[in-house]
Amino acid sequence: MQDQVRAAVQKYVDGCKAADAAVVADAFDENAIMWGYLGPTYVTQSGADFAANVIAAAEPAGADYGSEIHGIEVTGEVAHAILDEQNFLGANFRNHFGLVRRDGVWRIASKVFTTV
């Protein structure tokens, strides 16, 4: 089960790295919400808005982009995963994802993040 959760988070990573809004949107559940901090600034938006407004306007990540998925925990049809990103959109991030499996597919239902 952890491999399936890892693959769902990797889909997000692949979409962000390629600046592919459609892939990022598909990584999120249709009702997903995200909250977090860009430096001292609190922001919130839906996963769909993040894909359409941030990823769609971004350039593909450069060779200095890095990511590590860790801290995966699965309980039944829900899971939690931590993703660290380096040099993404000019910053380093720690992301905490809540995932749900619905109709056999794991998707990100929530994202709480901060710059580090």
pLDDT in tens, 45-67: 999 999 999 999 999 999 999 99
Instruction: State how far the Cα of 7 lies from the Cα of 39, in Å rounded to an integer.
Output: 29
pTM of the complete model beyond 0.85:
yes
Distances (CA, A) of 77 to 10, 11, 12, 37, 73: 18, 18, 19, 28, 11
Mean pLDDT of 30-40: 97
Confidence of residue 96 (pLDDT cuts 50, 70, 90): very high
pLDDT, residue 31, reads 97
Alpha helices, H only, the chain: 2-18, 21-27, 47-49
Phi then psi for residue 106, to 5 deg, are -85, 130
What does the pLDDT read at residue 1? Answer: 87
One-letter amino acid at 47 equals: G
Give 2-115's CATH code, choosing from 3.40.1350.10, 3.30.200.20, 3.40.50.740, 3.10.450.50: 3.10.450.50
Instruction: Count CB-CB contacts under 10 A for residue 52.
Output: 16
pLDDT of the residue at 79: 98
